[in-house]
Structure 1
Amino acid sequence: MTHPAEATNGVTAFRIILPGLALTSGLAALAVIIQRTSGLSALSPLMLAMVLGMAVRNLVGVGPAATLGIKFSLRRILRLSIMLLGFQLTYTQIVDMGLVGFAAAAGILVVTFVFIKWIGRLLGVAPALAELIAAGTAVCGASAVIATNTVTRGSDEDIAYAIACVTVFGSIAMLALPLLAPLLGIEGTTFGWWAGASIHEVAQVTAATFQGGLEATQSGTVAKLSRVVLLAPLILVLAALARRRGHAAGTGAPPMPWFVFGFLAVVAMNSVWPVTGATKDVIVTVTTLLLTISLAAMGLETDTRKLGALGWRALALGAIGSIFISGLAYAALGAI
């Protein structure tokens, strides 16, 4: 039985976060409306929400009453949405792709991540920003950036810049790969795997592979989702390394990202009792909306003056990383 004092505290806490939560939710809804009415299915509502949030923050300003609700959206809602991503995956999908195909996708992810981190050091990009760009490029775009930052601890400007990079260059890849495929003699499931193993966002992969037919779309989706499921072990590894560095330096180490275990648990549950049909459609819609709310909050905390100070090097890093993963995935086609 709930104690009256606990209920009162809960109502008070909700009232405190309500203004900021209403703001982030309103911006997310507006982003979804713009995306759907534009007729551009590949246009990401996540990116739109972040841009809208940045516009409000830098043109209008955000009052102190909204602060806690914005932070709630950026942390609690984000973690919940990442766990819900697990309903879009089953381990059977990975098995269907085959051990070689999955191993190739995993290898591409790891090599790309390490390569971008290394190039980032050569270019003089801040380690946190380079790590976020690496995660977004190697794994799954904006979702990977904001999930990885739970252990990377980059600034709001780092996160916004990384999301912008992977969105822009992922969109370029989405347009370029279908044009390059006929010139390279790639079609069907082979083209789908190439796109799924290299393009950044799930929506971008779907838009690119749709032009190659049903087999290309199915192959691309499975290859892409295999990268998504690898987000969990990547974050756990990064968390372990960060905690080791933090303890060695005597500084505060990032907390264990427990939501990652929730994500893996949801994938396991969905593998045993798959969610299908209308129920899955609802969950996918809710997940996208929650991620969009989180990105609106990110935009509301981003100062564009600081964003501009990050310079051209990070942009160059995003471009190099996108070209590298596309080339590496193409080179791996002979092995799958």
Structure 2
Amino acid sequence: MTHFPAVSSSKPAALAGCIPGIVLVAVITASAYGLRNLPFVSSLSPMITAIFLGMVFANIVGFSSSAEAGIAIAGKKLLRLAVAMLGLQLTFAQLTGIGITGLALAAVVVVSTLLFTVWTGRLLGVDRKLSLLLGAGTAICGASAIAGANAVTRAKDEDVSYAVACITLFGTIAMFLYPFLNILLGNDPQSYGLWVGLTVHEVAQVVGAGFQGGEAAGQVAIVSKLARVMMLAPVVIALALYVARSERNSGGRPAMTQVVPFFIVGFVVLVILNSAGYVPEQVRAPIVAVTPALLTAAMAALGLGTSFTKLKQRGFRPLLLSFLASVYIATAGLLLVNLAP
């Protein structure tokens, strides 16, 4: 049974109650960064490592109920803050490298992949919220997109962990497979980089696969990946509207903040300010540096809330859905790149 503090309790006391959970999340976050020196782990982003470490710790070691308050803050409020702060890493000028055609291709790939994943998930009988997380992670930018989508879908921690695991698996396969496939396909560096940026899941995986095709291919891959990341805001808003409509149909009354999430408004505002050059570099640089750490901490918290037993109950079908979504985005992206003028 959950006990809430009395109204007379002071704010310092409430904050003190969050310390054990925050310390635990901080330790797991630091461990995720420390493990980057290991051979295989170095190919994964700390966000992915952190969610797996959190899952292992929660299910093998465990933690007391005194840590729950701090973990909840890291997994929800810190997550929203970090997603909003991603806006300072993007500018509209960065997208000029792929032109109008590249931007159009990015939009088509993102929207069609999301729709394909949700539609296929319905056919396979996969839970709607888990399908949305898998679709967002595949279509946009992996774990960061899953985090943003989860902030409005409010899926279970097991769904988030399952989605991140799937994105990690198939994104890593793509990172190693794409360079070999391109030997058979014979794409030029521009086309190869565009294909990688439009279809590979995580930013780190895009870098790994893109620069295997040379410096020019790597640069194009990064820019086209940024075009997909820019789609995070409209996609999350669309998901929020979709969830709100579903709640209205079921008799609920969603709050306005659920329809237009404040953290996405913050994301858009920061992109605009950063693009216009209104954010001083001495302010922007530290925020950009700390944002990945905040996202990693949020993922660690979500991992701590994941039960292996409940994760196993999700079964094989969501994994199949993620595989089909990955095949779809790779195929659709390749066709679009080769058919585009």
Provide TM-score, normalisation by structure 2. 0.91
Residue 88 of structure 1, CA deviation? 1.5
Q: Which amino acid in the other structure matches residue 243 of structure 2?
A: A
Report the counterpart of residue 5 of structure 1 in structure 2: none
* TM-aligned CA distance change 1:276 to 1:109, over 3 Å: farther
Q: Which amino acid in the other structure matches residue 187 of structure 1?
A: D
Report the counterpart of residue 271 of structure 1 in structure 2: 275
Residue 153 of structure 1, CA deviation? 2.1
For structure 2, list consecutive stretches of 5 or more residues without a partner in the other structure.
1-8
Residue 323 of structure 1, CA deviation? 0.8
- Contact 1:117 1:130 survives alignment (8 Å): yes
Q: Deviations over 1:194-216 (max 9, x none)?
A: 00000000111011112122211
- Contact 2:195 2:221 survives alignment (8 Å): yes
Deviates more, 1:282-291 or 1:138-147: 282-291
DSSP 3-state at the match of 1:211: helix
Residue 35 of structure 1, CA deviation? 1.1
Report the counterpart of residue 57 of structure 1 in structure 2: 58
Q: Which amino acid in the other structure matches residue 239 of structure 1?
A: A
1:319 counterpart (312, 319, 323): 323
Q: Which amino acid in the other structure matches residue 259 of structure 1?
A: F
After superposition, residues 91-106 of structure 1 pair within 5 angstroms as 91-106=92-107
- Contact 1:47 1:167 survives alignment (8 Å): yes
Work out whether 1:300 is the aligned partner of 2:304: yes
Report the counterpart of residue 107 of structure 1 in structure 2: 108
Tell me the percent identity: 41
Q: Deviations over 1:110-159 (max 9, x none)?
A: 00110111111111111111111011000110111121012222111111
- Contact 1:245 1:253 survives alignment (8 Å): no
Give the whole-Å Cα distance in 2 for the aligned partners of 1:42 and 1:278: 30
* TM-aligned CA distance change 1:156 to 1:242, over 3 Å: same
Give the root-mean-square deviation of aligned CA atoms: 1.9
* TM-aligned CA distance change 1:280 to 1:167, over 3 Å: farther
Give the whole-Å Cα distance in 1 for the aligned partners of 2:118 and 2:235: 14
* TM-aligned CA distance change 1:303 to 1:191, over 3 Å: same
Q: Deviations over 1:162-213 (max 9, x none)?
A: 1111111011111111111121011312111100000000111011112122
Give the whole-Å Cα distance in 1 for the aligned partners of 2:279 and 2:217: 23
For structure 1, list consecutive stretches of 5 or more residues without a partner in the other structure.
1-7
Residue 94 of structure 1, CA deviation? 2.1
- Contact 1:53 1:296 survives alignment (8 Å): yes
Give the whole-Å Cα distance in 2 for the aligned partners of 1:184 and 1:312: 32
Q: Deviations over 1:59-103 (max 9, x none)?
A: 121211111100000111111111121122101122332111101
Deviates more, 1:181-190 or 1:281-290: 281-290
After superposition, residues 190-229 of structure 1 pair within 5 angstroms as 190-229=191-230
Work out whether 1:290 is the aligned partner of 2:294: yes
Aligned residues: 329
Residue 284 of structure 1, CA deviation? 3.6
- Contact 1:83 1:259 survives alignment (8 Å): yes
- Contact 1:32 1:45 survives alignment (8 Å): yes
